[in-house]
Amino acid sequence: MTTALSRPITSPLAANDGAPAANPRVKLYKRRIAISHPDPQAGERLLAEALGAADRDAMHGMLRQLVKASASGHQPDEANLAFMISTIRSIAPKDSVEAMLASQMVSVHMAAMRCACRLACTDDLAQQESATRALTRLARTFAAQVEALNRHRNSDDKAITVQNLSVQDGGRAIVGNVTQHAHLIGPDLDATSGAAGEREWAGATQGASA
C-alpha cells in the first residue's frame, strides 16, 4: 500500500498580544505577482520592511529577482519564495547593501541545496564530483557573504571621536573634532619628543640671531 505524502499545515506565528501575525504572502500567477494581505498598503509596507527595501520600486525589483531565484524545474516556486522571504526577514537587513547581500545569501543557499540534492540522488561518479565541486564553491561563497555582512554591520563601531584635547608644552594641537579608526591608533608618543622639539626650536632661534 502506497501512501501519498501530504504537505503539513503550519499554524501562524503568534504576535506579542496573542493574535496571529499577519505577515504578507506572495502569490505567483501566470502573468503577475500579487501580495496577499488583508490591508494591501500594510502588506506592501511589511514586505518592504522584511526585504530591507528603501521604497516601493526597490521592493518590487528585489521581489522579481527572488521569484526567478526560487525556480524549481524552470518554474518559480511559491514555497521556495516564501522560505527565502522569511529568511531575509530573520536576517533583518538595515540598508540597501544589507538587503542585496541578504538576497544573494538566500539565493546561494538555495543553489547549494540543489547541488546537495543532485549529489544525494546520483550514483554516477562524474556527476558526484561535479556536484561536490559546485557545492563546495557555493558553501565557501555563503561563508564569505556572512563575513561580509558582519564586517559591514560592525564597520561603524570602530570610529572614535576625540573632542577634548590636553596639550603640554612643546606639543601641537588641532582645532576641531578629530576622528580616527581603531586600527590606526598607535601608542602614545615618547615623552622625549617634546624636549626634542624644544631643542630644534632653540637651535633655529640661535642660528637666526647669529
Is residue 17's pLDDT more than 80? no
CB-CB neighbours of 98 under 10 Å: 19
Q: How far apart are CA 5 and CA 7, in angstroms?
A: 7
Q: Rounded to whole angstroms, what are the CA distances from 27 to 12, 102, 208?
A: 17, 21, 85
Q: Tens of pLDDT along 74-94?
A: 899 999 999 999 999 999 999
Instruction: Give me the pLDDT at residue 196, please.
Output: 52
**Stated pTM of the model:** 0.64
Is residue 26's pLDDT more than 60? yes
Is residue 18's pLDDT more than 50? no
**Of 163, 201, 161, 167, residue with least CA distance to 182:** 161
Q: Is 76 left (phi over 0), alpha (psi -120 to 50) or beta?
A: beta
Dihedral sign computed on CA atoms, order 30, 35, 40, 44: negative
Instruction: Say if residue 105 is exposed, middle or buried (CB neighbours under 10 Å; 0-12, 13-18, 19+).
Output: buried
- Per-domain boundaries in the chain: 25-157
Q: Tens of pLDDT along 142-162?
A: 999 999 999 999 986 555 554
Q: Rounded to whole angstroms, what are the CA distances from 75 to 71, 78, 80, 95, 127?
A: 5, 10, 11, 30, 23
